[in-house]
Chain A
């Protein structure tokens, strides 16, 4: 169980923040809220409260790849390095499920938005972490991949991991997941209504 608390008077240029979230074992929480309310900032701030080995984060913006290399090179780097927490079985499975296997010869600069997003997800979800922070993970993905993503996240939740997601759409979200609304009250970011799917 993780209890996150964030109280900050300079959370955003135009707001203060007073948020308290309780993430129980085997729980997935989805943060809902208007654009620009500070959901992504909140996610990063919450992640930074944990030690590095306990969490993994998938950022919303496109990854900045300085080197334009084929996908096979990235795959080999991960398989060769065997980093602490790296789950090679899960990596290979996700690589296949997200359809990257057929595209291994393709250079990063020629990946579509959905393919880049899939790569980002595979490189993060192959880590055995306790908490998974995902900022709009289903963006650019086709319906089939969205389904695969949420099935995988549900599997992680059932294994006892915690999942914290920022999303805008309720479709595809597995049953039993909790939704936490974030609202502005007099320039103060606070938690609003909470319900279960």
Chain B
């Protein structure tokens, strides 16, 4: 298959997956600070890959990416199943986010230190892991992403009524007998596995899982509610990531391609600042009118 098609499909599906997993985790936590990156899923996936890369070098085998994916998926499913335990009782979500961010900082420090040692010993280091890119998009990676998205869509089809109910408020779950346990398991398994797959295939996309759902919510949510955020919004976020990746592909700088993760994080951050600023100004106007 044409490399460009593989790349287009991969970048589009990555955008969709990051947007959907961000939306799911923010809904589950009822907190816009929640995301695969702020909760440490990104960091753990990078750490996992660093360990695998080092082991592959040590034992001199070439298929490290496929093996890490095969062993990693069950581990991240397990992690997703166990994660809701952190949310039990009176655990303050801000504290969990703070723990996730601290863990990410730790992974960042470990990454730099690891890079330093690799360079000192003149060993190849996967620098591109830190900022996502689609240079190595392949038929296999496209198939993995399609299968993941298909499974998420099937799960969403089953869980969507529950998600709608859960989105109304915490007491609703209690009053209407919603099984939060199974819903949380679904949410966190989707987030953990899709984050791991994206990081494993194309590297970390930093805070994209945090930014994309908020953009989807602010731009589309009010018109079509949850469907707007989970489907139309994530579709548009996928298209945006795909378009930016195509620009990076067609316009290299001095022959080198700029990592799309870097560019898209910058664009996403600026868009989010503008959206939040605009909504802040709106609320200020309404507040003044009320007076």
Q: Once the chains are docked, how many angstroms separate the CA of A84 from the CA of B286?
A: 39
Contact B27 A56 (CB under 8 A): no
Residue of A nearest to B167 (CB): A67
Contact assessment for B171 and A81 in the assembled complex, using a CB-CB cutoff below 8 Å: no
Q: Given A64-B169, A65-B169, A127-B176, are A77 and B164 neighbors across the interface (CB < 8 Å)? A: yes
With A73-B225, A110-B286 in contact, is A66–B167 under 8 Å at CB? yes
Cα separation A80 to B163 with both chains bound (whole Å): 13
Task: Check A53–B165 contact: CB distance below 8 A.
Answer: no
Interface residues of A in 93-115 (CB under 8 A from B): 109-110
Given contacts A69-B222, A73-B225, contact A124 B168 (CB under 8 A): no
Most chain A CB inside 10 Å of its own CB: which residue of B175, B176, B283: B175
Closest B-chain residue to A133, C-beta based?
Answer: B175
Query: Could you give, for residues 1-33 of chain B, a 1 whenever the CB lies within 8 Å of some chain A CB and a 0 otherwise?
Result: 000000000000000000000000011001100
How far apart sit A71 and B224, CA to CA, in the bound complex (Å)? Answer: 13
For A70, what are the chain B residues with a Cβ–Cβ distance below 8 Å?
222
Question: By the criterion CB–CB under 8 Å, are B169 and A63 in contact?
Answer: yes
Are A56's CB and B175's CB within 8 A?
A: yes
Is B168 a contact partner of A64 (Cβ separation < 8 A)?
A: no
A85-B286 in contact (CB<8A): no
Contact with A along B215-230 (1 / 0, CB 8 A): 0010001100110000
Question: Does A123 reach chain B (CB closer than 8 Å)?
Answer: yes
Q: In the complex, are the beta carbons of B27 and A57 less than 8 A apart?
A: no
Residues of A within 8 A of B217 (CB): 67
A123 to B226, CA, bound (A): 19
CB <8 Å contact, A66 and B175: no
Determine whether the beta carbon of A57 is less than 8 Å from that of B168.
no
Residues of B within 8 A of A158 (CB): none
A197 to B: closest C-beta gap in Å: 27
Q: How many residues of A contact B (CB 8 A)?
A: 28
CB under 8 Å from chain A, chain B span 103-139: none
Contact B171 A59 (CB under 8 A): yes
- Looking across the interface, which residue of chain B has its beta carbon closest to that of A129? B175
Q: Which residues of B, 130-188, contact A by the 8 Å Cβ criterion?
A: 161, 164-165, 167-172, 174-177
Bound-state CA distance A161–B225 (Å) is: 35
Query: In the bound complex, do residue B177 and residue A63 qualify as a contact, i.e. CB atoms below 8 Å apart?
Result: no
| CA–CA, A64 and B27, complex, Å | 12
Docked pose: A53 CA to B174 CA in angstroms: 10
Residues of A within 8 A of B172 (CB): 123
Which chain B residue has the least Cβ–Cβ distance from A58? B171
Most-contacted residue by chain B among A66, A81, A124 (CB, 10 A):
A66
**A52 and B174 contacting across the interface, CB-CB below 8 Å:** yes
Nearest Cβ in chain A — how far from B258, in angstroms?
Answer: 36
With beta carbons under 8 angstroms apart, the residue of B30, B165, B286 that contacts A66 is B30
Does A74 sit within 8 A of B, measured CB to CB?
yes
Instruction: Using CB atoms, name the residue of chain A closest to B32.
Output: A66
- Return the contact of B30 from the options A64, A73, A127 (Cβ within 8 A): A64
Query: Nearest chain-A residue to B161 (Cβ)?
Result: A81
Contacts known (A65-B168, A67-B167); A53 close to B177, Cβ less than 8 A: yes
**Does the CB pair B177–A52 fall under 8 Å?**
yes
Q: Is A83 an interface residue (CB 8 A)?
A: yes
Question: Distance (Å) between the CB of B89 and the closest chain A CB?
Answer: 14
Residues of B within 8 A of A64 (CB): 30, 169-170
Q: Are A77 and B168 in contact (CB under 8 A)?
A: yes
A85 to B174, CA, bound (A): 13
A83 touches B165 (CB 8 A): yes
- The closest CB in chain A to the CB of B166 belongs to A66
Can you identify 8 A-B contacts, CB atoms within 8 angstroms? Answer: A58-B171, A64-B30, A64-B170, A66-B30, A67-B217, A70-B222, A86-B176, A109-B283
B residues adjacent to A (C-beta < 8 A): 26-27, 30-31, 161, 164-165, 167-172, 174-177, 217, 221-222, 225-226, 283, 286
Q: Nearest 5 A-B pairs (CB), nearest first?
A: A66-B30, A52-B177, A63-B169, A83-B176, A56-B175
